[in-house]
Amino acid sequence: MNHTTGAAEDYLKTIYTHTEWQSDLISPSALAVRLGVAPSSVTEMVKKLAASGLITHVPYGPLALTDAGRLRATAVVRRHRLIETWLVGEMGYDWDQVHDEAEILEHAISDRLLEAINTRLGFPAHDPHGDPIPAADGTVLRPPAVLLAEATVGHAGSVLRVSDRDPAVLRELAADLIGPGTEFTLAAALTIVLADGQSRLVTPAAAASIWVTA
Amino acid sequence: MNHTTGAAEDYLKTIYTHTEWQSDLISPSALAVRLGVAPSSVTEMVKKLAASGLITHVPYGPLALTDAGRLRATAVVRRHRLIETWLVGEMGYDWDQVHDEAEILEHAISDRLLEAINTRLGFPAHDPHGDPIPAADGTVLRPPAVLLAEATVGHAGSVLRVSDRDPAVLRELAADLIGPGTEFTLAAALTIVLADGQSRLVTPAAAASIWVTA
DNA sequence: GCCAGAATTTAGGCTCACCGAAACCCTGCT
DNA sequence: AGCAGGGTTTCGGTGAGCCTAAATTCTGGC
Ligand SMILES: [Mn+2]
Ligand SMILES: [Mn+2]
Ligand SMILES: [Mn+2]
Ligand SMILES: [Mn+2]
């Protein structure tokens, strides 16, 4: 009686990822924007997900996952990120090209194929963008992080993850050899110095996409 | 204006494969049985496919693909068979386990991913069951074939393909080390002698699933 | 040539996921 | 306190794709 369609999976996943690196709950309208659907469509799906016990929702209020919903959401996120990792690791994709393909395949592959991929990849802990890959039981290991745009000048650390929302940002950073694991010091707003002493000017869009060690 | 959904793709593919190894056109009711839908559902989809110029259909008559429809159909078949080949060749699946997964993935992977898979596999000409993999332009290389069940005693040749419809048959044949390429002589009805002199008794279901060189 | 039974189509309905327009609720600002 | 504007929900509709039940059409056997 609880099948969860591809559409519902995307709603759950988006509700989950919204609170992954920041703590405020998502609103129906923000969810509509992220999913590219009308607000009224969100209202409808929210009703169904709440009726299935996957989210909680007080009318006119924000959305929150229940434990059951969080488990479903992390299962989808796990698929999405393992697929992205596989596309980059084995299929010749660049990190700015994987998101759309994963967005579809995450609803199509079987558990068996997912585990075959996972095994081939050696059970990776992070996707190409540095996002943690949830374990099958829903466990997620997420270190404390700060947005580069909000870090104070002088902050030293390493890149934890880069949002994969904007492919242009990903290409920009790839050209600059910046990615998860890159060590740096924030020399000035939008200016980082890498371990080898080279400095890089990042765009505001990039600074708002890069999360670094706290 | 001509997107072809996953459902429509399955209709086209099934119409195509019905005539791949035998020459009679498929009827609406046979199509309904193969797809597991009601006959009235076929009538509806047939109307849409005919309106899109992908099939021809005279009321109460059989179904036939147009050139455009055949191209679409072979594109789906190409995906299906490349995916099956990949699952067996790289992902640890047995030949009786790939069909259902391919049935779904064939509608989900991008052209780019398909070609990446094709390249990794070295541009295979046949899937694990011996079925020809259509070229991107719709070309299919299919040798003359006879159903083993209909071959005359004394017929010598090799296995060309085994229908993947019945997993039990595939497991039976795998246990007997019979598959595409296997050379044999038909010693008696349901009894074949392999190249090494060993003889095998095949079930009627298997004999009705194995196509051999004419 | 007729007609019973099978195949096919039509008719009416259903669920899912979406939409725009209109109503409604809530909040923040005066 | 009052209210305007934005967020949210309600309402009526759409298109896919499926269903069952009731016509309708075709055909093989008499
Ligand atoms: Mn998705
Ligand atoms: Mn990612
Ligand atoms: Mn198959
Ligand atoms: Mn399919």
The per-residue pLDDT for range A158-168, each reduced to its tens digit, is: 999 999 999 99
Encode pLDDT of B182-193 as tens digits.
999 999 999 999
Question: Architecture of domain A1-136 in CATH?
Answer: Orthogonal Bundle (1.10)
Residues of B in contact with A117 (CB under 8 A): 91
∠ CA A172-A19-A165, rounded to 5°: 25
For residue B185, give the H/E element and its range. strand B183-188
Neighboring chain B residues of A104 at a CB cutoff of 8 Å: 108, 110
Q: Decide yes or no: CATH 2.30.30.90 for domain B145-213.
A: yes
Is B46 within 7 A of strand C by CB distance? yes
Question: Residue B63 pairs with which residues in a beta bridge?
Answer: B26, B57
A65 touches strand C (CB under 7 A): no
Separation of B46 CA and D27 C1' (Å): 23
CB pairs under 8 A between A and B: 36
Which residue, among A165, A162, A169, A151, has the nearest Cα to A214 in the 3D structure?
Answer: A151
Among A153, A125, A124, smallest CA distance to A140 is for A125
C-alpha B159/C-alpha B181 separation (Å) is 5
Token reading at B212: 């051999």
Domain boundaries, chain B: 1-136, 145-213
What is the separation of C-alpha A185 from the centre of its chain, rounded to a whole number of angstroms? 24
pTM of the shown model: 0.94
Identify residues of A whose CB sits under 8 angstroms from chain B CBs: 87, 91-93, 100-101, 104-105, 107-110, 112-113, 116-117, 120
B1, pLDDT greater than 80: no
Strand D and A203 CB separated by under 7 Å: no
- Is the CA virtual torsion A55, A58, A64, A67 positive or negative? negative
pLDDT in tens, B116-126: 999 999 999 99
Whether B113 sits inside 8 A of A107 (CB atoms) is no
Q: Pick from B93, B88, B96, B97: which is nearest to B120 by CA?
A: B88
Q: What is the CA radius of gyration of chain B?
A: 18
Q: Give tens-digit pLDDT for B97-113.
A: 999 999 999 999 999 99
Burial class (CB in 10 A: 0-12, 13-18, 19+), A187: middle
